[in-house]
Chain A
Amino acid sequence: MRNTFIKELTKFVETDKNIIFMTADLGFSVFEEFMEKYPNNYINVGLAEQNLIGVAAGLALTGKKVFVYSIAPFATARCFEQIKVNIAYHNLDVIIVGVGGGFSYSKSGSTHHAFEDIGILRTLPNMKILCPGDPIEVKASVKYAIENSGPFYIRLGKNKEPNIHKEEVELKNIISISEGEDGIILTTGNMLELGTKIVEDLKNKHGKNFALSSCPIIKPFDEKQILDLLKKYKYIFSLEEHVKEGGLSSLLSEIIATSTYKDFLFKGFSIDHGFIKTVGSQDYLRDLSGISKDKITEQIIKILK
Chain B
Amino acid sequence: MNERRIEIHPILGLRPERRHVTIHFGDRPLPAYEGEPIAAALLAAGVRVFRKTSKRGEPRQLFCGIGRCTDCVMIVDDLPGVRTCVTPVRDGMRVEEQDGRGRWERERGGGEP
Question: Does A associate with B in a complex?
Answer: no
